[in-house]
């Protein structure tokens, strides 16, 4: 791996994506299922985040991931059992609700939904997006070959993506370019604004998004389960349960080696110029900057101002849980635009372990 990662410099008339975080429910996960060596009792409540991305020139909107759904009784039986026994969920507001709260109509305004992968906390409810084209990794075909309910033991419902011709499975030929350390990327709008990244390792068909967030050099990386815990980003391993014979009995990573290779590539993004990168670790310096950052003069509404103010009071220590709490409260307010503002302005809030890594790079 090179010592410095370079991403393409912006062109004169560079297009980019505006990114907003969307609330899509919360899931309570046993950390030891993902992070090697974590105590059995350790749990973490994480937001099932999704993102609205809007193209700067055409205004085309797409949603990356759909979080959880409200009606969990429509999940396959094994998923319902999993939710009941292992990973409880809470969905006060789903992605469709979040969009509506932000003034975006999920029925008419979203031409594309990109799903990072087909796990139940990422697929939401496709029926709420009746006019969108769904884009998923080609490896997902394998998971839908013998789906629920035809196969009662499958964790993948036949309706988890539209089966009326609106689902596009990406092929090898789509990943025709490279970017950073990623050997397989798809320049979605063919203008360098958004790349779909082949993220093979966690689940068949896993894809991520790397998008520009400014015309001058900001980027965001949406990892969708590239890792499940901050500590994996900092050297912690992927958990793999084995029996006495050494055989794998449970592993959240279908190809654990590939998952590691992919995570290393994502980590490589942090090798960009130090002053331009926000890491996942939430160091004290970044948080201090957040607290000291003065004014809310850019805010558009008093409601947003309250939320920002709230954030300022809550985030007082370099502790991921504090950030979790603050984000949960922020999202529970449903301030789509506010989240967008925060994500643009405060790098530390972009550094959120299960779902994304963000880098900001200034060219001057």
* Binding stretches for Zn ion (CB under 5 A): 119, 225
Residue 202 C-beta: closest distance to Zn ion, Å = 6
Residue 238 C-beta: closest distance to Zn ion, Å = 12
In the bound state with Zn ion, the residue whose beta carbon lies nearer, of 119 and 184, is: 119
Residue 167 C-beta: closest distance to Zn ion, Å = 18
Nearest to 166 by CA among 104, 95, 106, 112: 112
Residue 228 C-beta: closest distance to Zn ion, Å = 8
* Angle at alpha carbon of residue 29, lines to 286 and 326, rounded to 5°: 35
Residue 122 C-beta: closest distance to Zn ion, Å = 6
Please enumerate, as own/partner, the contacts of 231-236 that have beta carbons within 8 Å and a separation of 24 or more: 231/35, 232/34, 232/35, 232/263, 233/263, 233/266, 233/267, 233/280, 233/281, 233/353, 233/357, 234/280, 234/281, 236/35, 236/36, 236/37
Nearest to 348 by CA among 300, 299, 314: 314
In the bound state with Zn ion, the residue whose beta carbon lies nearer, of 344 and 354, is: 354
In the bound state with Zn ion, the residue whose beta carbon lies nearer, of 119 and 231, is: 119
In the bound state with Zn ion, the residue whose beta carbon lies nearer, of 106 and 223, is: 223
Tokens of 338: 């506010």
Residue closest to Zn ion, measured at CB: 119
Please enumerate, as own/partner, the contacts of 99-107 that have beta carbons within 8 Å and a separation of 24 or more: 99/22, 99/52, 99/63, 99/336, 101/334, 101/335, 101/336, 102/20, 102/22, 102/52, 102/334, 102/336, 102/337, 103/336, 104/52, 104/61, 104/336, 106/63, 106/132, 107/131
Query: No. of H helices and E strands in the chain?
Result: 10, 17
Residue 45 C-beta: closest distance to Zn ion, Å = 16
Nearest to 91 by CA among 267, 332, 363, 264: 332
In the bound state with Zn ion, the residue whose beta carbon lies nearer, of 65 and 174, is: 65
In the bound state with Zn ion, the residue whose beta carbon lies nearer, of 29 and 326, is: 29
Residue 272 C-beta: closest distance to Zn ion, Å = 27
Residue 311 C-beta: closest distance to Zn ion, Å = 28
In the bound state with Zn ion, the residue whose beta carbon lies nearer, of 119 and 350, is: 119
Q: Following DSSP, what letter does each residue of 137-167 receive, concatenated?
A: ETTHHHHTSS-BTTSTT-SSBTTSS--SS-E
In the bound state with Zn ion, the residue whose beta carbon lies nearer, of 65 and 225, is: 225
Residue 66 C-beta: closest distance to Zn ion, Å = 13
In the bound state with Zn ion, the residue whose beta carbon lies nearer, of 67 and 217, is: 67
Round to whole Å and give the CA distance between 243 and 143: 25
Q: Where are the alpha helices (DSSP H) in 7-76?
A: none
């Amino acid at each position: 791996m090179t010592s410095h990662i370079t991403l393409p410099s912006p062109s004169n008339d560079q297009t980019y994506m505006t990114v907003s975080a969307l609330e899509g429910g919360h899931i309570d996960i046993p950390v030891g299922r993902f992070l090697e060596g974590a105590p059995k009792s350790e749990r973490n409540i994480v937001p099932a985040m999704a993102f609205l991305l809007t193209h700067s020139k055409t205004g085309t909107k797409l949603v990356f991931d759909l979080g959880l759904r409200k009606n969990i009784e429509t999940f396959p039986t094994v998923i319902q059992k999993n939710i009941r026994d292992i990973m409880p969920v809470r969905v006060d507001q789903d992605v469709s609700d979040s969009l509506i709260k932000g003034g975006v109509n999920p029925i008419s305004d979203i031409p594309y939904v990109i799903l990072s992968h087909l796990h139940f906390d990422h697929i939401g409810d496709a029926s709420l997006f009746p006019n969108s084209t769904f884009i998923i990794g080609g490896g997902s075909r394998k998971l839908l070959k013998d789906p629920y309910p035809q196969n009662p033991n499958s964790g993948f419902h036949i309706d988890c993506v539209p089966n009326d011709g609106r689902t596009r499975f990406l092929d090898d030929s789509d990943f025709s370019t490279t970017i950073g350390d990623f050997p397989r990327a798809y320049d979605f709008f063919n203008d360098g604004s958004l790349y779909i990244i082949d993220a093979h390792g966690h689940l068949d068909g896993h894809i991520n998004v790397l998008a520009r967030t400014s015309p001058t050099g900001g980027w965001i990386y949406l990892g969708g389960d590239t890792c499940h815990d901050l500590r994996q980003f900092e050297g912690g391993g992927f958990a793999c349960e084995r029996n006495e014979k050494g055989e794998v009995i449970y592993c959240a990573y279908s190809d654990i080696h590939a998952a590691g290779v992919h995570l290393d590539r994502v980590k490589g993004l942090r090798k960009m110029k130090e002053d331009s990168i926000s890491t996942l670790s939430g160091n004290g310096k970044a948080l201090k900057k957040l607290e000291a950052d003065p004014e809310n003069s850019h805010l558009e509404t008093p409601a947003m101002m309250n939320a920002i103010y709230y954030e300022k009071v809550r985030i007082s220590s370099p502790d991921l849980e504090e950030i979790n709490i603050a984000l949960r409260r922020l999202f529970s307010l449903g301030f789509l635009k506010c989240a967008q503002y925060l994500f643009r302005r405060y790098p530390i809030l972009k550094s959120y372990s299960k779902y994304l890594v963000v880098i900001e790079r200034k060219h001057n």
